[in-house]
A and B are shown apart, each in its own frame.
Chain A
Amino acid sequence: MDPRFVYDSFVQLLAGVPLTLELTAFAFALGLLLAVLIALMQISGLRILRIPAGAYVFAIRGTPLLVQIFLIYYGLGQFRPTLQSLGLWQFFREAYWCGILALSLNSAAYGSEVLRGGLQSVSKREIEAGRACGMSGLLLYRRIILPLALRQSLPAYGNELILMVKATSLVSIITMMEVTGIAARLISETYRPVEVFIAAGTIYLIINFLLTRAVSMLDWWLTPHLRGMSTIGKAEQAK
């Protein structure tokens, strides 16, 4: 192994970092929006909403992301005339948008389960206090339920963010030149997979390290009410 070549590859791969981050950010944001919607459908108690949401999560979580990417990128090509007539072909023609769509749909399925857990963890008593003060519907969600649920979900959702960073490497298969895409090109030019992949792995490691730190900081900042208190101490205090 040649350290010098690892370093050179590292520098070249940095060119793919912006695209990796862009794909992550887009997919994560869209995924989060969709995840909130699906989680609310799941806990709505209405069969007509719960069943489609459950089926969606079941299908997406039960199939590989790579298969989903192929289905969207190659599969939708079969419906080109229909998509053209709907004016959507512009969108599905681009590997970029197909990749983001697949990643978002995937993230939404996993994220919705995390949020569902968070929503279900919100204390019935705090919700009841909100109702007793005259809050209902959106106001109750906006002021009480969602702030508590999102805080509860944050650590687990940070995990989802990291999975998403790594999942973007899969869209290199559909021609996207993010970090892994550039790595694959370098290997085909140099036949030195060890150095190139070590460099690529290091980049993902650095990105994920920084994101993990950022999520912990956000968590710390959002939960002053839990600071300096063990679970047992809290139960005692509540008496």
Chain B
Amino acid sequence: MIEGAAMQPVISLRNLRKSFGALEVLKGISLDAHKGDVIAILGSSGSGKSTMLRCINMLEIPTAGEVVVTGESVKLKKQGDGLAIADRRQIDGIRARAAMVFQSFNLWSHMTILENLVEAPIHVQRRPRAECIAEAMALLEKVGIADKRDAYPAHLSGGQQQRAAIARALAMHPQVMLFDEPTSALDPERVGEVLAVMRALANEGRTMLLVTHEIAFARDVATRVVFLHEGLIEEDGPADEVFRNPKSERFRKFISNTQHR
């Protein structure tokens, strides 16, 4: 029984579809992510990779299909042509367990860095204030910006803001972390510091889903690579294997194009 629970995927997508009006962005995606997986989701823009990630925590509501997070199937109800959230509270709980890091950091501008970190633990998870603050300090230490605790987001560089956003996600004790192009909005010289933090998290054995354009990082850190093309999974396998011996012609082209840049 316990072994069965350990084998259960942290995230499971079953035949996921999503349309924006007449445009079908996801055309039936099925994917299981297990504990400790670091899955890099690659694909050219418009392939649906960000939409897929945003369907996991219901920032986008799928049009059809099923999403299971930590064994809990997201309750959706029919509404018009698509689906709608059936249980608000369930979604709020799932969102705290699957924390997201955004492309443009999205820190709360009116709160200090420390306040950003303790906001959800105190007000959503209702944990004791002192404990949240102590833990947030340790997290800021870990991502290397402890001296910025009382600064406001606008006073930090992009790389520092993104590290703060990662610490904010960690503060909720998530079981899985969703990264949505976390380095795409950064100056090139700031990318390394964010990737270093993410590499450390991967080495801790955290479950991570990562939409990215950093092929080298994916090759290096990811345990598994998923390549999306026009709303379908085109290539899926262990990172070293798919890069060495890609099955799909498109993925072969995709990596050779991006490598020559």
Contact = CB atoms under 8 A, between A and B. Distances in A.
Nearest to B57: A132
Nearest to B168: A133
A131 B93 contact: no
A234 B155 CA distance: 8
A239 B95 contact: no
A136 interface: yes
Given A137-B88, A148-B110, A239-B186, A132 B99 contact: yes
A129, A223, A238: residue with the most chain B Cβ atoms closer than 10 Å? A129
Assign chain A's interface to a size class.
20 to 34
Interface in B87-136: 88, 91-93, 95-96, 99-100, 102, 104-111, 119-120, 123-125
A239 B102 contact: no
B108 A144 contact: yes
A131 to B, nearest CB: 7
A237 interface: yes
A231 B154 CA distance: 10
B243 interface: no
Nearest to B111: A225
A135 B157 contact: no
B92 A239 contact: no
Contact of A134 (B96, B108, B109, B111): B96
B118 to A, nearest CB: 11
Contact of A128 (B102, B119, B120, B124): B102
B185 A129 contact: no
Contacts of A135: 92, 120, 123-124
Contacts of A147: 110
A139 B154 contact: no
A134 B59 contact: no
B59, B123, B168, B187: residue with the most chain A Cβ atoms closer than 10 Å? B123
A55 interface: no
B172 A128 contact: no
Contact of B93 (A134, A223, A226): A134
Nearest to A139: B123
30 contacts: A123-B106, A126-B107, A129-B107, A129-B108, A130-B108, A132-B59, A132-B95, A133-B99, A133-B119, A134-B120, A134-B125, A135-B92, A135-B120, A135-B123, A136-B91, A136-B92, A139-B123, A143-B119, A148-B109, A148-B110, A223-B110, A225-B152, A226-B154, A237-B155, A237-B157, A238-B154, A238-B161, A239-B185, A239-B186, A239-B187
Given A125-B104, A133-B95, A133-B172, 20 more contacts: A126-B108, A129-B107, A130-B108, A131-B59, A132-B57, A133-B96, A133-B124, A134-B93, A134-B172, A136-B88, A136-B91, A137-B88, A148-B110, A224-B152, A225-B153, A229-B155, A234-B154, A238-B104, A238-B105, A239-B187
Interface of B: 57, 59, 88, 91-93, 95-96, 99-100, 102, 104-111, 119-120, 123-125, 152-158, 161, 168, 172, 185-187
